[in-house]
Amino acid sequence: MNENQRELISTTVPILRAHGLTLTTHFYKRMFLHHPDLKNTFNMGNQKSGKQQNALAMAVLAYAEHIANPGVLLPELKRIGHKHVSLDIRPEHYPIVGNHLIASIKEVLGEAASKEILEAWEIAYNQLAELMIGIEADCYKSQTDKIGGWTGWRPFEVKEKVKESDEITSFYLYPSDGGKVVKHVPGQFISLKVFLPKLGLNQARQYSVSSAPNEHYYRISVKKEINVHLNVNGMISNFYMTKYRLAIR
Ligand SMILES: Cc1cc2nc3c(=O)[nH]c(=O)nc-3n(C[C@H](O)[C@H](O)[C@H](O)COP(=O)(O)OP(=O)(O)OC[C@H]3O[C@@H](n4cnc5c(N)ncnc54)[C@H](O)[C@@H]3O)c2cc1C
Ligand code: HEM
């Protein structure tokens, strides 16, 4: 990326920030229209409440803002990378997000988006994607290098369920293949994926491992999310199944 392209990106950041919500709403609508399968990857509850849907596009804008010194964003990029790994995000997903993001910038900025601006954005996105893919490749490798390690979604079953209180229930999750699990470190979380018939989609949520580190199972303690006012209860925390698919970070 040359100096001129960096300059071009910097000039568009405030405009894109001002239109942040329009941009991100447009982006997700566009991406899900062309790739409805990705609804299984994203948290549709967050999409509905708008809670996290800004995160992806806003992080790309933050990168553009620090284009001259992206190293300052490394700790944050590592955190995002861990979350991505827990959701089994792979290198082949990056061009999809990139295409829809650049197309959305073009559609939202209209005539203000010159060919040069769009080219500069494409280069910036690809640089960031390469960085993220590298961080995530290291995480995937470190998972498979460990005893009991795996990547992707592995089937687990609930062997024991303990009601801790009116709100919280613990689930003891064992690999369906009878194999070992990676000994977790304190504070580690797993992503759990289930098929929700109500949505006709797979959905994933994160849960901290609440058991002591061991090679046989993970215990998670789930609080039922109840929203009495709106009559919309949490989708996964109120849904009990005996089989789950888990990915770890
Ligand atoms: C790193 C990490 C670790 C976590 N660890 C734990 C843990 O150990 N234990 C735990 O219990 N949770 C944990 N969580 C939270 C967990 O991942 C889920 O977010 C939580 O269980 C709620 O998921 P849900 O599917 O039940 O709710 P969702 O369906 O995702 O809904 C979330 C909230 O939004 C409300 N809502 C849904 N739809 C609407 C709507 N249309 N309008 C307004 N409000 C709406 C719901 O009532 C609910 O309160 C963790 C999260 C992270 C990121
Ligand atoms: C350079 C590109 C990307 C950036 C900068 C980025 C950034 C982010 C950020 C900031 C979050 C929120 C993390 C958190 O706070 O928990 C996030 C979450 C997420 N990202 Fe990415 N992301 C990128 C690419 C992708 C790709 C290619 C995919 C796959 C299609 C993807 C899928 C997700 C999913 C599923 C979540 C969880 C959010 C949810 O379900 O609500 N991201 N990303």
> CATH number of the domain that 58 lies in?
1.10.490.10
pLDDT at 52: 62
Helical axes 3-18 vs 94-109, angle rounded to 10°? 70
Instruction: Please choose from 32, 56, 61, 133 the residue to mutate so as to test ligand 2's pocket, defined by most ligand atoms within 8 A of CB.
Output: 56
- Which candidate, 148, 43, 127, 138, places its Cα nearest to that of 82? 138
* pLDDT tens column, 114-162: 999 999 999 999 999 999 999 999 999 998 899 999 989 999 999 999 9
Alpha-carbon distances of 140 from 32, 70, 198, rounded to whole Å: 26, 23, 32
Burial of 160 (0-12, 13-18, 19+ CB in 10 A): exposed
Exposed e or buried b for every residue in 112-130, given b needs 16+ CB within 10 A?
A: ebeeebbebbbbbbeebbe
Q: Is 49 in the pocket of ligand 2 (CB under 6 A)?
A: no
Verify that 137 and 236 share a domain, yes or no. Answer: no
How many independent structural domains does the chain possess?
2
Q: How many helices (H) and strands (E) does the chain have?
A: 7, 6
pLDDT at 45: 81
Average pLDDT, integer, range 238-245: 76
**Among the three residues 145, 164, 190, which one is the final residue of a domain in this structure?**
145
**Among the three residues 95, 121, 145, which one is the final residue of a domain in this structure?**
145
Q: What is the CATH number of the domain that holds 180?
A: 2.40.30.10
**Euclidean distance between CA atoms 242 and 40, whole angstroms:** 20
Determine whether 136 is an active site residue: yes
Verify that 38 and 79 share a domain, yes or no. Answer: yes
pLDDT at 248: 67
CA of 84 from ligand 2 middle (Å) equals: 6
Give the three-class secondary structure for 193: strand
pLDDT at 168: 95
Atom 19 of ligand 1 has which residue's CA nearest to it? 205
pLDDT at 127: 92
* DSSP character string of 99-165: HHHHHHHHHHHGGG--HHHHHHHHHHHHHHHHHHHHHHHHHHHHHHHSTT---S-EEEEEEEEEE-S
Q: Is 52 in the pocket of ligand 1 (CB under 6 A)?
A: no
Verify that 135 and 216 share a domain, yes or no. Answer: no
Give the three-class secondary structure for 245: strand
User: According to the per-residue pLDDT averaged within each range, which of 3-17, 200-214, 225-239 is highest?
Assistant: 200-214
Determine whether 244 is an active site residue: no
203, 193 contact by CB (below 8 A): yes
CA of 87 from ligand 1 middle (Å) equals: 16
* pLDDT tens column, 9-68: 888 888 888 888 888 889 999 999 999 999 999 998 877 766 666 788 788 888 888 888
Verify that 60 and 120 share a domain, yes or no. Answer: yes
45: domain range?
Answer: 3-145
Verify that 164 and 231 share a domain, yes or no. Answer: yes
Verify that 128 and 205 share a domain, yes or no. Answer: no
Verify that 20 and 64 share a domain, yes or no. Answer: yes
78, 69 contact by CB (below 8 A): no
Verify that 89 and 186 share a domain, yes or no. Answer: no
The overall average pLDDT reported for the chain is: 89
169, 152 contact by CB (below 8 A): no
pLDDT at 207: 95
Considering 63, 136, 217, 244, which one is annotated as catalytic? 136
Verify that 141 and 159 share a domain, yes or no. Answer: no
Verify that 97 and 120 share a domain, yes or no. Answer: yes
